[in-house]
Chains A and B, each alone.
Chain A
Amino acid sequence: SQQGEEDPQALSIQEGENATMNCSYKTSINNLQWYRQNSGRGLVHLILIRSNEREKHSGRLRVTLDTSKKSSSLLITASRAADTASYFCATDGTGANNLFFGTGTRLTVIP
């Protein structure tokens, strides 16, 4: 299977704290994308990092990519209750024209 793994499966933090989620994958990739899903609804695209990039920022989000370890991390700084959601990484594999998703991390931010 090309599905990636994410850890932790669930994370509960206080508002204002930082949240870090990790993603590991198995194949060579063109890019890796992070998504947020609120309560079983559609996916919202957060950020894309290409295979030749090591770090990317977008607002309170910071994504790193280590292709040698086939892993990525998503850091959300100064978390808010509205960040409560499930977060998924998805890899766009070399030679593939679609995304394969990780298992997801369920983040709960306590006000």
Chain B
Amino acid sequence: ETGVTQTPRHLVMGMTNKKSLKCEQHLGHNAMYWYKQSAKKPLELMFVYSLEERVENNSVPSRFSPECPNSSHLFLHLHTLQPEDSALYLCASSQPAGYGYTFGSGTRLTVV
């Protein structure tokens, strides 16, 4: 484990379902991120939270809803997803830039 824990590791959901991805870090970092990685595509930044405030939303569809209740936990709430949303979703955390980023193992999401 890297210090950033993501659950579940795998998720299969229907297009009408509602599910949530969870990310937890106890590294003392104060910034957390959601990235999406689709097959054969580069990593795409979805959301950035710094000190529990959202500072970046890269034009992500509203069917993805992030939540950061405290500096150690980050959620990604999913509803009415599309098959093209199937991807590996990665969570990361960092101190302010200069100290590097730590990534979780990811959640492999399949939308059917």
Pairing of A with B: no
On A, residues with C-beta under 8 Å from B are: none
